[in-house]
Amino acid sequence: MGKRRSYRSTAVKKVALEKLLESAPVGDVHLGMDIGKGEVFTVIRWSDGTFEPPWKAKNPTEISELVSLFQVLAKDRAVTVAMESTGTYGDALRQALSDAGLSVHRVSGKAAHDYAEIFDGVPSKHDGKDAAVVAELSAFGKSWPWAFTPRKGKDAQMAYWVDWLDAQQSIEMLWLGRLEGMLARHWPELTSLLKLNSVTLLQMLSHYGGPAKVTADGKVGSRLARWGGYMLKREKIDAVLESAALTVGVRQNGQDIKRIQQYATMALAAYRETQKAGRTLKKLAKDNEVIQRQGKAVGVVTASVLWVSLGDPKNYHCGEAYRKAMGLNLKERSSGKHKGKLKITKRGPSIVRRWLYFAAMRLSQDPDVRRWFEAKKAKDKDKGMGALIAIARKLALALYSVGVYGDPFEAWRLFPGRSLPRKARPSRSPAAA
C-alpha cells in the first residue's frame, strides 16, 4: 500500500503471488488476519514496512488455498501469521496453519483496537484495515505464539464435562426462575420454608404440582421424609403441610399444576446433570496436583473450570497476568456519569469470572473474610457486588500462588492490615506439577 492505504481486497483465487514476489523486499514477512464467520481477510506486511492490499478468502471453503499461498511465501523467508482471538471461527484456520508448519501468533484485541487510529490517522475499523493493524503489531513484537494444540486425554474429557456442567447449570437457573414466579402466585409461603433449589422442594412439586394436591394426599408426610432424608426435620415437614393447607396463593387450574410439575421436573433433571458432571470432574482431576491445590481454596470443580479455561497457571509469568487472563484486571472508566471509576475489563472467559464469583460468595462467609466483606459492603451503601468482585480479584492472585508455588491457602492472607508470615524459601520456583 502507498501513503494513502488501499483496502480494496482481492479474492484469494485471483492472487498472482509469483508475480508479486518478483519485486517483493527480502526479509521477514508478517501476515495479519481478520477472521469472520464467512470471510477471512489477510494483509502482507513486508520487511521494509510496506503493505499489500488485502486478500479475501471464504471461511472455511477457501482455507486450503490461503494456506497454500502462505507456504509459498515461507519457502524463502520467515513468515509469521498473526490473528486476534476469534472464538471458534478461526480454529479451523489455525489448525490448518499449524499443520502446515507455519508460525501462528496471537495479537490482543485491545491492542489492535487502540492502535487503529495511530496506524493511518483514522479511528475507523473495517476488515482490511484490521488485518493490516494486526500485521503491524506482529512486526513490532506485540504478538505471542499461538499454535493450535488440541486437547487430549483427560484434558479433553475435562473440557467436555466443564462445558456440560456450565450449560446444565444455566438450564437449571432458567427453570428455577420460571418456577419462582409460579410459586409467588400459587404458593408464596413455600420458599420461606424450603430453598427454591432444594431437591426436596423440586421432587415434591414435580410429583404434586401445587399445594392442593399436597393437602389431598394422606401419604405426603412419609414421601417428604423420604425425599428429604435425615436433614429434613419433622417440624419442617409439618410447617410445609400447614402452608399448603392455609396458603393465600391463587387457586390453580389444571394447566397451572402441569406447568409447575414440568418446571420442577426440568430443574431437577438439570441439577442431577450438574451433580454428575461435578463427580466426573473430581475423578478426572484426582491426579492433577495444581487442581488439587487450588481445589482446597475454591473446590475441585471450580479449579477444574480454571484449568480448562485458562490452562496451567505455570504458563503465566505472574499472578497479575493470570488474573488478567480472567478479565479481572481493572481499567479506568471516565465519562460524564462515571468520573474516573474503576471497572474490571471482562476480557477473559466469562465462565471463569462466573465460577470465581460463586467462590467469592462462599468465601465471604469465612470468619477471616466476613469482617472485611461487611465493612466494604457498608462503605458501598449496602451493595455487596463490589466487595465480592474485590474478593474474587484477591482470590485470583492467591490461586496463582497456590497452584504455581504450592503455598497453602489461608483466607486471612487475602487482605491487608495483617502481617504475613514469610516462609524461608531459597528460590521462588514453581512447584513440580
Q: Which pLDDT score, from 0 to 100, does residue 157 have?
A: 98
The DSSP result for 207-258, as a single string, is: HH-SHHHHHH-TTHHHHHHHHHGGGS-HHHHHHHHHHHHH--SPPP-HHHHH
CATH number, position 24: 3.30.420.40
Note whether residue 431 is domain-resident.
Answer: no
Same domain for 170 and 138: no
Note whether residue 428 is domain-resident.
Answer: no
CATH number, position 170: 1.10.287.4070
- Residues of the chain short of pLDDT 50, as ranges, are 1-4, 418-427, 432-433
Q: Which pLDDT score, from 0 to 100, does residue 383 have?
A: 87
Same domain for 202 and 176: yes
Q: Which of 344, 246, 156, 54 is nearest to 164 (CA)?
A: 156
Note whether residue 432 is domain-resident.
Answer: no
Q: Which pLDDT score, from 0 to 100, does residue 339 have?
A: 60
| Bridge-based pairing state of the strands 29-35 and 341-344 | unpaired
Would you call 205 exposed, middle or buried from its count of C-beta atoms within 10 A (0-12, 13-18, 19+)? buried
Note whether residue 174 is domain-resident.
Answer: yes
Cβ 55 vs Cβ 66: under 8 Å: yes
Q: Which pLDDT score, from 0 to 100, does residue 4 have?
A: 46
**Cell numbers of 201, please?**
422442594
Residue 180 CB contacts under 8 Å (≥ 6 apart), including other chains? 191, 196
Q: Which pLDDT score, from 0 to 100, does residue 330 have?
A: 87
Which of 249, 264, 282 represents a domain boundary (last residue)? 282
Q: Which structural domain range is residue 54 located in? A: 10-145
Note whether residue 420 is domain-resident.
Answer: no
Q: How far apart are CA 174 and CA 187, in angstroms?
A: 19
In tens, the pLDDT along 334-358 reads 555 556 677 888 888 999 999 999 9
Note whether residue 257 is domain-resident.
Answer: yes
Number of structural domains found in the chain: 3
Q: Which of 136, 97, 139 is nearest to 115 (CA)?
A: 136
Angle between helices 367-379 and 385-405 (to 10 degrees): 140
Note whether residue 419 is domain-resident.
Answer: no
Across the chain, mean pLDDT equals 91
Q: Which pLDDT score, from 0 to 100, does residue 121 have?
A: 83
Q: Which pLDDT score, from 0 to 100, does residue 336 have?
A: 56
Q: How far apart are CA 388 and CA 399, in angstroms?
A: 16
Q: Which residue type does 267 have?
A: A
Task: Give the number of other Cβ atoms within 10 Å of residue 149's Cβ.
Answer: 10
**Cell numbers of 45, please?**
506486511
Same domain for 16 and 133: yes
Residue 189 CB contacts under 8 Å (≥ 6 apart), including other chains? 243, 247, 248, 249
